[in-house]
Structure 1
């Protein structure tokens, strides 16, 4: 067993990293990624034109509102500032609802607001577009990106982040850890109160549920109905990971994929193990967009251009994002996920159809299943 001080240190690390975060095949071991997959050939570099770059450098700064935490963003912002030393990136971390509410308040009062927003909540982002919050900007990288990366006018995915299952290996050995949600549902009653997830109010939880249901329909709802009354619900991934590390939970599902790098660390790996869900891994597009009220619109465009480039996606990988462009070497990249779960089990395709209209019904049905 790991010592109490080391366990406490791990839970503190979990909280730090995760403050802002998201066909049955049985239980034959862990479904973790491999870095030895074919990542394809990188497309030609597609930078902005010289005039836009010159204006961006004159503007000199980018204000970014994002749901990713400081540790996650650091490799990306440092790489951008190293490439464009005359432009500084200021990052404000907040939830998706806080991002859009703050933008609305600041825009109404004439206070400087975000040049770029980065969010995982499909409904909030689509509402933001409908309200005229997004600059209708097509980045040159788009010609080299898959169709699913185009989420809405001016909105593009910079990362396709998976939701994973996480287990306390001292309580459920690796060889007995379910690799899919259907198998975990079968164990739910025997693990009553020892399984955890995050509340549907969390954008990553809603994204996971909505994507899973879009793929599996009533069969998916059946699994959720079994899991619901046997699952503890936390407000965010920080609490979830702490309780997993402490043994209050033995398993958790629909956990933000940003935990992967942490769990593979020397200490955390002795307690926790993560797995992709082989009956369907939800992949949430983390959307990025330049705002209509940007004070530094060209600097914002340049930042978006960098995040979508092979160079930018390589830097994002270091923070735990999931790059999807061809030619990006990353143990957490989309090809690595596909190598584990198979192409047919990748819940990938932009925003689910009619997600804005369907959200109230999904939330209501989830709440009934979880007695909320």
Structure 2
């Protein structure tokens, strides 16, 4: 999968130390992808029970907390997740465990998360406690060898859907959907599926020539969501054969949204909800985003503890917090999609239940964490790119 580099449009590869003090973290301005709408009311800040854990946790859970207190109050995460997404999670985790005074997270390319961990492990100097990324293929390849993720069974699993654990010892922070978007002023229809869009294109090919945007399947994200849709919908190619000749690939959801809103494109698909939701809030009816009823691809954002984590107990607390109701509310506040059943939608916050309500349970395509062979990658990308308009 070396050819599938991340196309997520991440900011520069930078370190950010978030949470030197809880008050400092609380002062961060958090928005969905940094562009919240001033007209959208905000849900109230989460309530967090400091230093307390649920009664269904093991009776000796306090030993993990005590162990974490002795680890220096630090946590290091190698990640491809934006700081805006992390900020409310870190803020509330530090409210719960105020002895954690420094959380360092970085923005790396999807594959680089694992490359860095492996290279540092080889030298005996691996500072990361947790690896977190939605790069399904990269996770599957990395965790294919035993011993690369610490064994840990979260007590929250019993309260979560059965897909909370995406691989052995790897948990989903969020279940983030990609969807269909269009310029409501220019499209001339209200598609609710990829098949609907295909019908519009077929009815007026000249109007849509080079006016559709899709994701570049040469990138890891584009490949994963595009193949996920095809694998999860037996009629997918019938629609794609009508759309792709009019389509042009882009490498980021931000670019797709910008060009749809400006009218350069009339519609696009496989666009990240984390970017699309706030864009829709700001667009004053121009930009519309929907979950396709013939297949909404959902990516679990995986996180796991490194085998020799310097702050292993703190990392365990963090995993459990992410899966808890408190943590999932913070996940949603940060612009990712919470999937714990007890977490409810609120202004500016989104849940897995919304996808089910809008598209239907049968339309949800959760991408499995498994390796795709190089031959299958080539066959898919060749077929896809061969259909694109020239």
TM-score, structure 1 normalization: 0.81
Shift of 1:233: 0.9
Question: Contact (CA 8 Å) 1:116, 1:291: kept in 2 or not?
Answer: yes
Shift of 1:260: 4.1
Question: Contact (CA 8 Å) 2:164, 2:172: kept in 1 or not?
Answer: yes
Shift of 1:298: 1.5
Is the aligned partner of 1:205 residue 2:222? Answer: yes
Name the CA distance, whole Å, in 1 between partners of 2:89 and 2:164.
19
Name the CA distance, whole Å, in 1 between partners of 2:134 and 2:117.
16
> Counting helix residues as a fraction of each chain, which structure ranks higher?
1
> 1:103 is matched with which residue?
117
- Could you say if the C-alpha distance between residues 106 and 183 of structure 1 is closer, same or farther in structure 2, counting changes exceeding 3 Å? same
Residue of structure 2 aligned with 1:231, choices 217, 237, 247: 247
> 2:127 is matched with which residue?
113
Residue by residue over 1:197-249, the C-alpha shift from the partner in whole angstroms, topping out at 9 and shown as x without a partner, is 221234332232222122223x2123223322211111112222222222211
Matches within 5 A, 1:22-101: 46=57, 49-59=61-71, 60-87=73-100, 88-101=102-115
Is the aligned partner of 1:351 residue 2:363? Answer: no
Is the aligned partner of 1:242 residue 2:258? Answer: yes
Is the aligned partner of 1:179 residue 2:195? Answer: no
Question: Contact (CA 8 Å) 2:149, 2:305: kept in 1 or not?
Answer: yes
Secondary structure of 1:117 counterpart: strand
Shift of 1:98: 1.6
Shift of 1:255: 0.2
> 1:32 is matched with which residue?
none
- Could you say if the C-alpha distance between residues 245 and 317 of structure 1 is closer, same or farther in structure 2, counting changes exceeding 3 Å? same
> 2:292 is matched with which residue?
277
Shift of 1:18: 5.3
- Could you say if the C-alpha distance between residues 295 and 354 of structure 1 is closer, same or farther in structure 2, counting changes exceeding 3 Å? closer
Name the CA distance, whole Å, in 2 between partners of 1:134 and 1:239.
35
Residue of structure 1 aligned with 2:267, choices 240, 246, 251: 251
> 2:382 is matched with which residue?
364
Gaps of at least 5 residues in structure 2 are 1-30, 35-42, 44-53
Name the CA distance, whole Å, in 2 between partners of 1:67 and 1:182.
32
Name the CA distance, whole Å, in 2 between partners of 1:298 and 1:71.
25
Name the CA distance, whole Å, in 2 between partners of 1:141 and 1:298.
16
- Could you say if the C-alpha distance between residues 177 and 352 of structure 1 is closer, same or farther in structure 2, counting changes exceeding 3 Å? farther
Secondary structure of 2:345 counterpart: coil
Name the CA distance, whole Å, in 2 between partners of 1:299 and 1:237.
34
Name the CA distance, whole Å, in 1 between partners of 2:125 and 2:324.
31
Name the CA distance, whole Å, in 1 between partners of 2:384 and 2:182.
23
Calculate the aligned-residue CA RMSD, in Å. Answer: 2.5
Gaps of at least 5 residues in structure 1 are 1-15, 20-34, 36-42
Shift of 1:112: 3.3
Q: How many residues align?
A: 330
Whose RCO is larger (CA < 8 A, sep 6+)? 1
TM-score, structure 2 normalization: 0.77
- Could you say if the C-alpha distance between residues 287 and 269 of structure 1 is closer, same or farther in structure 2, counting changes exceeding 3 Å? farther
> 2:48 is matched with which residue?
none
Residue of structure 2 aligned with 1:287, choices 302, 326, 337: 302
Name the CA distance, whole Å, in 2 between partners of 1:150 and 1:243.
36
- Could you say if the C-alpha distance between residues 106 and 352 of structure 1 is closer, same or farther in structure 2, counting changes exceeding 3 Å? closer
> 2:336 is matched with which residue?
321
Residue of structure 2 aligned with 1:299, choices 314, 337, 348: 314
Question: Contact (CA 8 Å) 1:180, 1:280: kept in 2 or not?
Answer: yes
Question: Contact (CA 8 Å) 2:33, 2:84: kept in 1 or not?
Answer: no
Name the CA distance, whole Å, in 1 between partners of 2:196 and 2:353.
25
Shift of 1:159: 1.1
Residue by residue over 1:288-316, the C-alpha shift from the partner in whole angstroms, topping out at 9 and shown as x without a partner, is 11112322122111111111111100111
